[in-house]
Amino acid sequence: MPQVTTCGTAGYTSHLAWNNGNLDAHRTWCEYADRYAMALICVEILLVGPGTGATGEGGIFDQDEMRSQSGRGIDSTLAELRARYPRAADLLEATIHSRRFSDCPSPQDWSGFAGGQSFTPPTLDDLPRICPNDFADILKRLRPAAPLWPAPSLREMPAPVIRIPGSQVVEDAPARLLIRG
């Protein structure tokens, strides 16, 4: 495990990670934090094809739009999803407008996003083929990613406490140890 890490990857970092105009890594080191990026990746799997524009580090979402929760890129993505995969559009919208990471749709929500509709999720054979030259073209059109500041040292993060029935917590810096009672 590295001593420090970043708050996230440009184009996949949640609006929830921002605090008074600055990224705050403490906000992303929590349960369910990866649900936000997972939603964006699910949408990319459904929509990316030859000629797709890219921002940030190769994804289709613009970090400034993700932070403000609105913009032309989000609007056009939601419109395309509504036309092709309406339930996926609802899941993406819930993600973008979430107030907590736990509000973001779960992996189970995404795996069953057809929601009983007469819809068959695409197979890998149904998705457009993207050759290496297409990826190279997408990467050439990238604009520089917004800087994402490094997170604090993992030593600065609070240690998780796991409670085992019949045990007591004993403080021992830097970690909390559990001793059987």
What local confidence, expressed as pLDDT, does residue 124 receive? 67
Closest CA to 87 of 109, 65, 61: 109
34-47 and 72-84 helices, crossing angle to 10°: 60
- Average pLDDT of span 41-57: 80
Is residue 2's pLDDT more than 70?
Answer: no
What dihedral angle (degrees, nearest 10) is formed by the CA atoms of 42, 46, 52, 53? -20
Q: How far apart are CA 160 and CA 164, in angstroms?
A: 13
Which of residues 117 and 111 earns the better pLDDT score?
111
Phi-psi domain of 98 (left: phi exceeds 0; alpha: psi -120 through 50; beta: other): beta
Q: What is the pLDDT of residue 43?
A: 93
With 0-12 / 13-18 / 19 or more C-beta atoms within 10 angstroms meaning exposed / middle / buried, residue 137 is middle
Could you tell me which residues come within 8 angstroms of residue 91 by beta carbon, excluding any fewer than 6 positions away? 39, 42, 105, 109, 110, 113
Confidence of residue 181 (pLDDT cuts 50, 70, 90): very low
Q: pTM (2 decimals)?
A: 0.65
Asked if pLDDT for residue 105 goes beyond 50, the answer is: yes
